[in-house]
Structure formats: structure tokens, C-alpha cells
Chain A
Amino acid sequence: MATNLQFIKSETITSPVSTLDITDVFSANYDVYQITANGLSTAGSTTYCAAKLINSSGSVLSDGSYDDAYLSLKTNATYGESRNVGITYWQEFFGDADGGAEGSAGANYIFNPFNTAYTFNLRQTFHAQGGLYRAYKGIGVYKQTTSCTGIHLMFTELSQDVTGGTISVYGVK
């Protein structure tokens, strides 16, 4: 049996969206998933690319069971730390989208989304935002044993739609 990434689904954003649901991607077939993003961009100013999980009934999980912690590595300034406990989404899951040649990209991992265990993530993203450059390295956990089948990306925090980019989901064999 091959050991590899197995493509599951890709979504390309071609018109402005405030949220994006990527459904029916987590299943019993894999325990570990990679989600790549590239070219996440806006028509103007910055927006955060946050995320929530979608359960097997298709509902977006918005309870306060999300924790995350990430380091902001800045090319031009002292690094920053962000820690959040009991919030309703994973902050800046794919960094910060922005306009023009800037924007965000990343290669994140999700662990155990489908089985009845806590769902974890590892993140590594990079974004260019208003002439500033940031790498985020971090983790997240959803502290419920809910079986999840999809991910809900939300760009609403700064009221700026995302207008471009591709998000792809892979199973890790």
C-alpha cells in the first residue's frame, strides 16, 4: 500500500466569500489530514482566516471548546504569542489574507476529526499583510468528542471577504 497524501477535495475561491464550508472530507478512512492553502487574498485590507469544525450532521460547531496557541514570527519585530482557551473558533488558522501580491498560505494538519476523540491541529502558515511578513507556528484543539466531517473557514472577524485562494484537503496514509 502506498504511503502518501491522498487527495480528497479542493475548493478554489473565485468570488468574494465571508465563509467557506469544506464538507465531507473527514471520514473513517484517515486519522490524519493535511490542509493546504495558498493565495488567500482579499480585494483590499486584511482579514483573519479562522476556522471551525463541521459535525456529521452538517452543523458548524460554535461552542466554546476551541483552544489554540501560536507564535507569531515577525521578520521586522519582536515575536508575539497568542493563547486562547474556550473560544468559539480557531483564530488565524490560515493566517491573515490581504490584497494584491500579499495574502496567506499554509500547510496544516488535523488529527482525529472523525473519531470520537478530541480534534487537534498543527499549523504552519505565512502571510504578507500591509508590507509586514509573519509566520505562524501553533497548535489547536477542539475539546469535544464530536465526530466531524468538515471544516468551516470564516473571514468575518475584520469584515473583509476573501476573494481568491485555493484550499485542498488530503488524507495522510
Chain B
Amino acid sequence: MSNSGIFDVNDIRYLMDYQQWSGVGTLELIETQSASNSAALDFLILKEDIYNVHFMTVTNFQPASDNHYIAYRLYESGTLETAAVYQQARQYGIASGTFGESNSTGIDEVTVSHATGTDDEETNNCYIYFYNLGDSSKYSFSTSHSSGVQAGGSANFEFAGGVLPQTSTVDGIRILTDQGSNMEHAEVSLYGIRYS
């Protein structure tokens, strides 16, 4: 390979073959927000006309009061859907307790974690995939998986699926704590997956 300081196509191909060309990644960070005793975090730029699949991470989440959960609601053409129209199915496990399932056919938010405590190191972390948000002819889906510590110190996990069974253009995501507790802290990042 030449050392002129300029990459030509062959240079790039060579480097790609050896995974040494960083190129343009296909996981595009759209936005990161942090909560600090916040009621909700609104992501209102989804680029849903570009991405069919979105990826979100929630880290270091802690509710303001014990044993609340991470949840989301969706905006449809700028209007937050708060009616009990969402459905979800969740499977959870508690390190010092039991495994169980929880499902609902008429709820006003989708939960994506299990319970979380409020002691210093009791936090929760999860990822969420969103599908079809920008497709007005399709329902909007999510799949998620979390790992956290609930009040009293027990570790827990939860994986889940959720749906907003309405044909609409979803152009925003609200991250909140279930049942109205504030988020003491959390960092939330939203990504689009190119070519999805």
C-alpha cells in the first residue's frame, strides 16, 4: 500500500478486508439524554423516515422511589399516546427469588425493565429495539432486555415484547418511570440502524 497520505479505493478495500477501515458505522447515534430527578425524557427526533429499526440503551437508571420500572410511551404524529392501548408480555427472574411472567392487553405504557431500588448501587440497565416506528401502515413493536438490582439488593432481569397496535407514524419516544415516580438518574441513548 502506498504511503501518500491519501486513501484510494484499493487502499480502502485492503483495509476493509483486514477490518482496519473504520468507514461509516451503521449504528448512528441520534441523541443522548440524561435524567436528573426528571419525570420523563422525550426523544422527538427519530429520523423514522430513514430507519426501520431503532436501538436504545438505558443505563444507570434509578427511580426516585423504590421498585419502579423503566417504561416508554410513543408519540404519534406529535401526540403522545397515553391511553391504555399498548400491550406487552414480560418474563422476569430474580436472583434471590423466583421467575415469573407478566402480560397485559390494555396498558398506557410499556415497561422494559424489572423493579429497581433507590440505594446507591441499585440501578437498572436495558436495551430496547423498536421496529416499524415510521411505517404508518404497520403496528409498532419493541423487544427489550434488562439487568438491574431491586430494593433490598437482589439482582433481576427481564426481557419483554411490546406493541402499539395502531397504524400510525411514530415520531417520538418518551422514557419514563412507571406509575409516576421520577427518574433520579439515567442516561438514555437512541440509535438508528442504517439500511434496516
Contact = CB atoms under 8 A, between A and B. Distances in A.
B50 to A, nearest CB: 13
B16 to A, nearest CB: 8
Interface of B: 17, 19-20, 22-23, 25-27, 52-53, 55, 87-91, 101, 103-105, 129, 131-132, 135, 137-139, 141-143, 145, 159-163, 165, 167, 193-196
Contacts of A105: 53, 131-132, 141
A106 to B, nearest CB: 7
Given A1-B22, A6-B26, A128 B52 contact: no
Contacts of A38: 52-53, 131-132, 135, 196
Interface stretch (A16-24, A72-80, A144-152): A72-80
A2 B23 contact: yes
A105 B90 CA distance: 17
3 closest Cβ pairs, A-B complex = A135-B161, A4-B25, A73-B89
A39 B131 CA distance: 8
Contacts of A119: none
B138 A101 contact: yes
A65 interface: no
A30 B105 CA distance: 40
A76 B23 contact: no
A5 B103 contact: no
Contacts, number: 128
Instruction: Using C-beta atoms within 8 Å of the partner chain, give the interface range for chain A.
Output: 35 or more
Interface residues of B: mostly helix, strand, loop or mixed? strand
Given A101-B139, A103-B138, A4 B26 contact: yes
B195 A10 contact: yes
Interface in A88-125: 101-103, 105-107, 124-125
A10 B194 CA distance: 10
Interface in A62-87: 71, 73-79
A76 B137 contact: no
A133 B143 CA distance: 12
Contact of B53 (A29, A36, A127): A36
A31 B138 CA distance: 33
Contacts of A36: 52-53, 193, 196
A168 B17 CA distance: 20
Interface of A: 1-2, 4-7, 10, 29-30, 36, 38-39, 41, 71, 73-79, 101-103, 105-107, 124-128, 133-135, 137, 166, 168, 170, 173
Contacts of B161: 73, 75, 126, 133-135
Given A39-B132, A39-B135, A101-B137, A75 B25 contact: no
Given A7-B194, A107-B53, A133-B165, A126 B131 contact: yes
Nearest to B15: A1
B132 A135 contact: no
Contact of A79 (B22, B27, B88, B91): B91
B163 A29 contact: no
Contacts of B141: 105, 126-128
Contacts of B23: 2, 6
Contact of A75 (B103, B193, B195): B103
Contacts of B159: 73, 124, 135, 137
B163 A126 contact: yes
Contacts of A78: 101
A138 to B, nearest CB: 11
